[in-house]
Every structure is written in structure tokens, then in C-alpha cells.
């Protein structure tokens, strides 16, 4: 197959990605008991490893057991048992792909019913209209808490390398904690962590430096960054360009460009500021512009479903085309493309009037597909948005009860663990 998608890519640290297609991160929320990777995760990643992607990036791995994006999230911190992660990396790398762990802290994007105190740069609540109360009211972080977060990112990256992963991706997009520091809408601090963009980017740069100091030179360090928040007054395209220029001065091996947050889910093709995104490769226009100033390779993710569009991404000066939903629907999409076939990972849009619930339903249908793959069921089928949403909400309730039980046990079983008060 004479396609640029199947050429290798040498990263700044000398490691090689065998082709230009990445399985981008999705929030699986499929942890086993103890918030660890288990059989379902192994089976899911076995499907992706067999599917022909050159780079596999895990879904969110949380750096702090008190702060999860969802109750089924996987946690890796300095005190976590490493053996399940060794198996996870082994499965993900079994067919030659690079396997990177996406590491994250959700900040204020934490569900209230999980019973934890939410940290954020400033005490600015999530605005989802009538659904806002589903999320915890955040508290502004102290200097000591910011220092702890930096250490936790480095701890998790170090553990990921010990487990056999070939890199980490620091999540600084989608409205999670580092993204909250970057945005003037959520960062209203008047100290060295807020105000100017040079201050708001400080947390990201300090995390990158801390991680890079703790891992080996051949271990990849990547950053996931919003091309924009797609909210009026938020993190802008010009801001993203300047952040790329600062990251140019650090040993960063790749930057993935996405966009949006819970309030403006541009990563699902919807925006809060009224801008219309492309039907596929939502952020390609932004990524192509930023590729002109980036010293490191760029990757873009968002709505890529067909081989023609993936090739357009590479032709636009972006090094890697990332796919998430498409590879949930068709895990072996790259292998089929390499064999000369041209299937697509198309989805059926949910057009409910309540945009928040529509986004939730879209997510729920993808999650049902991930659950099926985790059980070894690869046959694709159509899912009802309503039924999928009901099933996901019921599953989330069960996982929340299990998570809260685990948190209670963690307080007494792990010396040195620093718990926050339950509400």
C-alpha cells in the first residue's frame, strides 16, 4: 500500500512510530476492582493491538485516586500495584505499536456524587445549565496543592515507564485541570499561576519538565493540547500557537491537537461559541497552521473516519492522524486500509434538543461498543441512543458505589495516602 499513512515516523528522542495512524484516547471507564486495569481492558487493547495502528494511546489514567473523570477510571500513583499495568502494556505492544499512557487530573470536571473535593485553579463551577449540579463545586488550589499535582504527574509517568509503556501523554486539553489553568475563563488567579498566558501555562511547562526529569531519554513525552476551547473569551488559537512555541524549547516528542471541554464539546463536533467545524478532522485547519511553527511532530484527533481524510491530515503537514470513535467501531480499520479495503468508522449523530444529553447519548453508544469489545464481541451492531444512555447511567451508579467503597478502604489500607474529606 503506497500511502503516506503507512510510512514510519522518527520522533525527536529517536524512537520510531511504525505508521502514521494512532488510536487516540477515549475515556473507557472500564477499571476492574481497585481502579486497576483488568481482563476487559486487556481484551479491548488486544483488539486495537491487532488492528494495525502504529501508536496506541490509552484512555485517561488518573494521577490521584481522589480525582477521577468517572467512577470506572483507572488510577496509577506512587502506591499502586504495578503488575496489572505491566500486562496492559504487554498486550498493547504485542503487535509492534508504540503504547503511551495518557495521564490526567480532571480538576473541576468531577461528578459530585463521587463524594470528593474538586480542585481547580479558581473556584469557578462548571456551567452546564440545568445539569451543572451534577458536578462538584471546585476550590481554588493552594501553592502546596499545585506542587503536589506536579509531583503526581511525574510519579505516574515514572510508574508507566516501569510498567513497560513506551511513553506518556500529558492531558492539557478538554477542560481538565491543566486546560483549566490555561483558560482565562477558569483561571482567575492573581498569583504566578494566573493572569497572563505566561503564568497560565506555567503548570503545563512545570509538569513537562518534572516528567522529563524522571523518565529515561528514550521514553516519549507528549502533550495533548486544545487548538481552542471554542468558548468566547477562552483559550484561543493564538494562545495555542504561543504555547507550542514554549513547548518547542522543551524535550517534547509530540503534541496532539484537539479542542473543547465539557461545556463546549468540540471533540464531539459541537461548539459553544457558534463556530462550525469540519465534518471530519475537526481541527485540521488549526493543526496545519500550528505545524508551521512546531518543532515537534503534531497529531490531530477529532472526527476522522475515512482513509481519504486521514491521508488529507498527513498532506496538511500533520505527522499523525488520530482516531478514537472510528477505531471503537472498527478496531482493525488500519489493517483493512493496508489490505486495500476502504471501510469507514461512521457514527449516527444524536440530534436531541438537549445538547448536553445528546452528547451523553453519543458517548454512551461508543461505550457500549467498548464494553462489547472488552468481552470479546467484535461484531458491530446499531445501538439505541436512549437505551445506551439508560444503561450507561445505571452502570455509572454501580461503579460509583464501588468507587466510594474503594475510597473508604484506601484510607485505612495505604499508609501515606493523603485523603480529602468525603462529602
Question: Does residue 174 fall inside a structural domain?
Answer: yes
| Per-residue pLDDT at 265 | 52
- How big is the CA angle at 341 (ends 335 and 345), to the nearest 5 degrees? 75
| Per-residue pLDDT at 229 | 60
Question: Does residue 43 fall inside a structural domain?
Answer: yes
What is the tally of structural domains in the chain?
A: 1
Q: Are 199 and 122 in contact (CB under 8 A)?
A: no
The enclosing domain of 151 has a CATH number of 3.20.20.70
Question: What's the domain range around 231?
Answer: 4-413
Question: Does residue 147 fall inside a structural domain?
Answer: yes
Question: Does residue 23 fall inside a structural domain?
Answer: yes
Whether 23 has a pLDDT exceeding 90, the answer reads yes
Q: What is d(CA 12, CA 26) in angstroms, rounded to the nearest whole number?
A: 25
Question: Does residue 422 fall inside a structural domain?
Answer: no
pTM above 0.85, yes or no: yes
Whether 255 has a pLDDT exceeding 80, the answer reads yes
pLDDT digits (tens, 9 = 90+) for 78-108: 999 999 999 999 999 999 999 999 999 999 9
Question: Does residue 342 fall inside a structural domain?
Answer: yes
Q: Grid coordinates in use for 407? A: 475510597
Per-residue pLDDT band for 131 (boundaries 50, 70, 90) equals confident
How many Å separate Cα 121 from the centre of its chain? 20
Give the 3-state secondary structure of residue 378.
Answer: coil
| Per-residue pLDDT at 266 | 46
Instruction: For 97-162, give the secondary structure using H, E and C.
Output: CEEEEEEECCCCCCEHHHCCCCEECCCCCCCCHHHHHHECCCEECCHHHHHHHHHHHHHHHHHHHH
pLDDT digits (tens, 9 = 90+) for 320-332: 999 999 999 999 9
Question: Does residue 225 fall inside a structural domain?
Answer: yes
Question: Does residue 419 fall inside a structural domain?
Answer: no
Q: What is d(CA 339, CA 4) in angstroms, rounded to the nearest whole number?
A: 14
Which strand (E) or helix (H) includes residue 322?
A: strand 320-323
Q: Residues of the chain with pLDDT > 70: what percent?
A: 90
| Per-residue pLDDT at 275 | 43
Per-residue pLDDT band for 155 (boundaries 50, 70, 90) equals very high
pLDDT digits (tens, 9 = 90+) for 271-316: 444 444 445 556 778 888 899 999 999 999 877 888 988 998 999 9
As beta bridge partners, residue 322 has 22, 301
| Per-residue pLDDT at 421 | 36
Amino acid at each position: 500500500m503506497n500511502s503516506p499513512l503507512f510510512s514510519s515516523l522518527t520522533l525527536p528522542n529517536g524512537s520510531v512510530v511504525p505508521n502514521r495512524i494512532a488510536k487516540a484516547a477515549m475515556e473507557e471507564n472500564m477499571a476492574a476492582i481497585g481502579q486497576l486495569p483488568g481482563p476487559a481492558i486487556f481484551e479491548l487493547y488486544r483488539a486495537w493491538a491487532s488492528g494495525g495502528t502504529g501508536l496506541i494511546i490509552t484512555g485517561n489514567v488518573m494521577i490521584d485516586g481522589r480525582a477521577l473523570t468517572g467512577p470506572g477510571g483507572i488510577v496509577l500513583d506512587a502506591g499502586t500495584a504495578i503488575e496489572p499495568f505491566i500486562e496492559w502494556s504487554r498486550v498493547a505492544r504485542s503487535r509492534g505499536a508504540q503504547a503511551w499512557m495518557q495521564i490526567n487530573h480532571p480538576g473541576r470536571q468531577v461528578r459530585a456524587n463521587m463524594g470528593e473535593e474538586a480542585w481547580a485553579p479558581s473556584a469557578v463551577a462548571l456551567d452546564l445549565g440545568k445539569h451543572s449540579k451534577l458536578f462538584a463545586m471546585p476550590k481554588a488550589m493552594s501553592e502546596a496543592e499545585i506542587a503536589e499535582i506536579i509531583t503526581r504527574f511525574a510519579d505516574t509517568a515514572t510508574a508507566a515507564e516501569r510498567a513497560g509503556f513506551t511513553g506518556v501523554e500529558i492531558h492539557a486539553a478538554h477542560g481538565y485541570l491543566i486546560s483549566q489553568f490555561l483558560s482565562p475563563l477558569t483561571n482567575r488567579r492573581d498569583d504566578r499561576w494566573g493572569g497572563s498566558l505566561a503564568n497560565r501555562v506555567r503548570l503545563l511547562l512545570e509538569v513537562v519538565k518534572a516528567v522529563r526529569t524522571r523518565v529515561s531519554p528514550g521514553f516519549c513525552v507528549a502533550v495533548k493540547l486544545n487548538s481552542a476551547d471554542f468558548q468566547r473569551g477562552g483559550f484561543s488559537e493564538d494562545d495555542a500557537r504561543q504555547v507550542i512555541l514554549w513547548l518547542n524549547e522543551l524535550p517534547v516528542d509530540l503534541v496532539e491537537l484537539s479542542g473543547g471541554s465539557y461545556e463546549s464539546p468540540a471533540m464531539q463536533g459541537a461548539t459553544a461559541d457558534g463556530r462550525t467545524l469540519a465534518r471530519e478532522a475537526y481541527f485540521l485547519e488549526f493543526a496545519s497552521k500550528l505545524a508551521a511553527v512546531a518543532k515537534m511532530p503534531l497529531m490531530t484527533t477529532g472526527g476522522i473516519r475515512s482513509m481519504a481524510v486521514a491521508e488529507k491530515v498527513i498532506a496538511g503537514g500533520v505527522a499523525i492522524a488520530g482516531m478514537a470513535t472510528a477505531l471503537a467501531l472498527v478496531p482493525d480499520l488500519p489493517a483493512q486500509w493496508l489490505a486495500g479495503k476502504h471501510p469507514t468508522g461512521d457514527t449516527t449523530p444524536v440530534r436531541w434538543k438537549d445538547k448536553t444529553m445528546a452528547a451523553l447519548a453519543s458517548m454512551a453508544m461508543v461505550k457500549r461498543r467498548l464494553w462489547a469489545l472488552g468481552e470479546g464481541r467484535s461484531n458491530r451492531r446499531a445501538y439505541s441512543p436512549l437505551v445506551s444512555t439508560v444503561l450507561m447511567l445505571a452502570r455509572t451508579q454501580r461503579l460509583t458505589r464501588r468507587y466510594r467503597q474503594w475510597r473508604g478502604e484506601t484510607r485505612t489500607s495505604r499508609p501515606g495516602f493523603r485523603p480529602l474529606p468525603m462529602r
